[in-house]
Amino acid sequence: MSSQTLVSLPDRVAGARPHGFELWDVSGLHSIAHLVPRSKGRCGIYVAGFRNGDRYVGQALDVAARFRALRLRFGDELASLAFRRVAADELDGVQREAVRRLESLGVVLRNVVHAGGRLDAGDFELLVSPAEQRLFLAAPRGGVRTADRRVEQSEQRERFAERFRRLSADPRFAAYQETLRRYVNGAVPFPVRTELAYWSLSAMPSTNAASYPRLFTLSVNSLETLFLYAPKGEPERPELCLNVDLGTLLEKWGSLEQLMARLPGVDAGEADYATRPQVATLTAFGARSAARLLGSRGVLAAARKLNLDLMRKGPTMHWRSHCFDLADLAVA
pLDDT band at 85 (very low <50, low <70, confident <90, very high): very high
For range 70-78, the mean pLDDT? 86
pLDDT, one tens digit per residue, over 287-306 is 999 999 999 999 999 999 99
How would DSSP label each residue in 107-160?
--B-----SSS-S--THHHHHS-HHHHHHHHHSSSS-----------HHHHHHT
| Model pLDDT, residue 100 | 81
- The type of residue at 305 is K
Q: How far apart are CA 245 and CA 270, in angstroms?
A: 10
| Model pLDDT, residue 61 | 86
Q: What values do phi and psi take at 301, rounded to 5? A: -60, -40
pLDDT, one tens digit per residue, over 264-285 is 999 999 999 988 989 999 999 9
Please give the residue that has the higher pLDDT: either 116 or 199.
199
Name the DSSP class of 113.
Answer: -
For range 10-15, the mean pLDDT? 39
- The type of residue at 221 is N
pLDDT band at 13 (very low <50, low <70, confident <90, very high): very low
Whole-angstrom Cα Rg for the chain: 22
The angle formed by the CA atoms of residues 235, 236 and 237, to the nearest 5 degrees, is 90
Structural domain boundaries in the chain:
3-111, 154-331
Name the DSSP class of 64.
Answer: H
pLDDT band at 99 (very low <50, low <70, confident <90, very high): confident
| Model pLDDT, residue 97 | 82
The answer to whether the CB of 119 falls within 8 A of the CB of 58 is yes
Please give the residue that has the higher pLDDT: either 73 or 87.
87
Strand partners, 268: 282
Please give the residue that has the higher pLDDT: either 2 or 300.
300
Is residue 5 predicted with pLDDT exceeding 60?
no
Q: What percent of the chain has pLDDT over 70?
A: 88
How confident is the prediction for the chain on average, in pLDDT? 87
pLDDT, one tens digit per residue, over 127-169 is 788 888 989 998 866 566 666 788 888 999 999 999 999 999 9
pLDDT, one tens digit per residue, over 188-221 is 999 999 999 889 999 999 988 889 999 999 999 9
The answer to whether the CB of 280 falls within 8 A of the CB of 308 is no
Q: How far apart are CA 330 and CA 332, in angstroms?
A: 6
| Model pLDDT, residue 117 | 46
| Model pLDDT, residue 288 | 97
